[in-house]
Each structure stands twice: as C-alpha cells, then as structure tokens.
Amino acid sequence: MLIKISLILFFLGMNFHLFGKVEVLKKNDSFDTQGACFLNKKPSIQFLSKKKGRVSILDESLELYFSNLQKKEIIAFTGEEPPQGDLSMNRDFAKQKFSSAVIEFSKDEQKCISFVIDRVSNVLNENSLNLISSHPWKLIKVEDWLCGGFAHTRGDVIILSQKYLDKLTTSWSENMTKDDEDQLVKKLGGLLLHEQFHCLQRTHKAIFDTLYTQSWGFVKVNVVPDSYISTNQVSNPDAPIPEWAFMEGDQYYWVRTLIKEGVIIPKMGIDFVDVVFVLNKEENKFELEKDENGKLKTYRLSHFEEYVNSFPVNRGLDHPNEISAYMFSIYFTSLVNEVKPFKDVDEKSLINSNEFIKWIKSYLL
C-alpha cells in the first residue's frame, strides 16, 4: 500500500512539475507533445578555445581535405611555400599552419555573435525552419593570413577570421539602433547561415543530393583527374568533393577551380579561375574528353550562359554546395525583410529559385 501511495504521489508531482512549467513557458520554448517534454529552441553555441580549435580544424572524419591537398594550393592557403620535401611533408606543413592559425574569440566578439545567432534563430523558428534552427553552432577564430581571411568550414565547425569579424561587427553595441541591428543580422547573420549551410551539407548529405539531382538537374560523377588538374587544383574547404556535373543538351560538363597557368606562387582568389571540362560517359563511367592532339577540352564558365543564368547568384557556380549556401543567405534576408523570396530575380533563374523554395518547404521545415 505504501508503495502504491508513493507512486501516486510521484506521478502527481511529475504532472505538477509539467503544468507548472507551462505557466513560465518562454517565447523560444516549445512543447513536444509526442515526447511530453519541453524543447528549448534557444540556439546551442560553442566558441571553441584555441586548444580545442587547433584539433577541430584538422578533423577529416566527415570528408577528406588535408589528405588531398597539393603543393600549389597549400602555398595559396597558407601564404608560404612548404619546406623542401615530398607531398606527404607538404600536407603535414599545411596541417601545422592551419592549426597554428587558431586564436581565441574576445568576450565582445562572443557577445556580438551570440546576439546575431539568437536573432537568426528567432527568424528561422518563426518560419518553422526546424532542421537548420536546431543545428548546433560551433565556431573557431583564425588569423587573417589563413585562406586569405575568407570564412569557411571544417566538418561541422564554422571558421571566421579576425578580418571578417572586425569588418562585420563594427556596428555592434548593446545600444544599437533598430536599423543597425537589422543590418548586422542580415550581414553577419547571412554569412553565418551561409557557413552553417555547409555544415548541414555534410551532416544531411542525402537531402542536398535530392536538391542537386531532382530539383536542379546536376549529375553525380566520379572522375579520375588528369595530372594537370591535380597539380593546379584549388580544394574548396566547403565543397572539397568535385562530384557534380551539369548538362547542356546531351553533353556533361565538370567545373573545377584551378590556379592560373604559369603562376608558381599563387595568391588567394586573384590567381584562381573556374575551368569547365568536357566529360564523356560510357556506361556508368565518366572520362575527360581530349582533342585530336591529346589536350583536355576546356571552356571558361562564362561560355555557358544558360547554366550561369539559371541561378540567381553570380558566385560559387563551380559547385552546388556553394550555390545553395548563397541562395539560402538570400532567402534568409527576404525573411528578415518580410518580402517574398527571389521576387526580383531574372526570369531565367526563376525555375531553379522556385525549385529551391519547394525543396526548403519539403526538407528544412
């Protein structure tokens, strides 16, 4: 009898605890009726310390990166020529440089980023974008010389340079005007979401493959690169696997970012060029097409006007990971401005823009 009474009191206490919590339900909390518990929708944010960041930046558990780097791109990413040695030693040098670049976030930077992510999460939650709003935020800060100071990702971690933070947080203060706050959220928030999208592309690869193939018509390929391509490649840390080709007519085309011909000591950005290679398909194999002299058939990306104009962005067209990340930043800005997404895009890019919206509503809600 005593056991029964104790159990009754225990369950009554649990019910009282649950109903008591309803009265103090916060704006960013929600009730999960299936699990009968409360889900706090406040974003999970981790600013990795120098020690943890130096380990995390080298992680290759989700995809290989350092293991595939070539000497020329290592020079571009680090700003230094590796010591004399073989490719394995060059890659060890790259790891050491990437790791050494990690530094600590300041308290003000953490406050500013946390504020922006909180506002971003509110917008995502208000629009039921649950998949991305529930994804944890992990951030590393690096010195400006690494990768030219460009923001990028490694695994499920966002990497921000001091230069980008200084540029995007100039308007930050705890007494900002509403206009300054909105601009900060759109600019820094848009950048953070772009990078967070790359993290999602790794952790939810299948749903992005659906967007690329079924919505946008990309074809997954596995191409053995020519030595010329390998030597001059630029491995995008946000899209390191060159596994996508686009089609025009019955022909397949494969885009790679390469270091410009003749450049020995390349610099980030200015010495890069997008090159389109022609692919032949035999059964399920894709091979690089060559001309009668045995030279690879290539074009500049600008040659493919239909492809270039089919998206509402003019950057990142070398890989659908970049296209979708840039497009989601635009989509987010329209939510902040409370306007219809892609309402002013060129008619040529309307189909892919509308397909992107449909995909968001099917997979990100």
Here the tokens at position 187 are 């600019």
Here the tokens at position 39 are 């889900």
pLDDT at 283: 86
What is the tally of structural domains in the chain? 3
Instruction: Single out the residue of 201, 205, 271, 198 nearest to residue 234, CA to CA.
Output: 271
Same domain, 200 and 211: no
The overall average pLDDT reported for the chain is 90
Residues 319/239, Cβ–Cβ less than 8 Å: yes
Domain residues for the domain of 124 are 46-206
Instruction: Show the beta-strand stretches assigned E in the chain.
Output: 29-32, 37-40, 45-47, 102-103, 137-142, 152-154, 157-161, 219-220, 244-248, 251-259, 272-282, 285-288, 298-300
Same domain, 239 and 345: yes
Same domain, 73 and 200: yes
Here the tokens at position 51 are 């020690």
Integer angstrom CA distances of residue 233 from 69, 73, 150, 273: 8, 7, 18, 10
**pLDDT tens, position by position, 89-138:** 999 999 999 999 999 999 999 999 999 999 999 999 999 999 999 999 99
Lowest mean pLDDT among 34-38, 69-73, 202-206, 273-277: 34-38
Quote the pTM value.
0.88
Here the tokens at position 309 are 């104009």
Same domain, 66 and 19: no
Mean pLDDT of 246-272: 96
The amino acid occupying position 86 is D
* CA–CA gap between residue 203 and residue 199 (Å, rounded): 7
**pLDDT tens, position by position, 317-350:** 999 999 999 999 999 999 999 999 999 999 999 9
Same domain, 291 and 357: yes
Question: Which of 183, 206, 229 represents a domain boundary (last residue)?
Answer: 206
**pLDDT tens, position by position, 23-75:** 233 333 443 433 333 344 689 999 999 999 999 999 999 999 999 999 999 99
Mean pLDDT of 81-89: 95
Question: Which of 167, 189, 206 represents a domain boundary (last residue)?
Answer: 206
pLDDT at 174: 86
**pLDDT tens, position by position, 295-319:** 999 999 999 999 999 999 999 999 9
Same domain, 173 and 221: no
Percent of the chain beyond pLDDT 90?
Answer: 86
Same domain, 28 and 51: no
Same domain, 283 and 141: no
Same domain, 114 and 180: yes
Q: Please tell me the number of Cα atoms within 13 Å of 69 on its side-chain side.
A: 26
Same domain, 186 and 223: no
Query: Does residue 201 surpass a pLDDT of 90?
Result: yes
* Reported confidence tier of residue 16, pLDDT bands at 50, 70, 90: very low
Same domain, 59 and 147: yes
Here the tokens at position 266 are 């390349």
Instruction: Single out the residue of 94, 211, 217 nearest to residue 146, CA to CA.
Output: 94
pLDDT at 5: 41
pLDDT at 232: 97
Mean pLDDT of 274-302: 95
Same domain, 196 and 53: yes
pLDDT at 18: 31
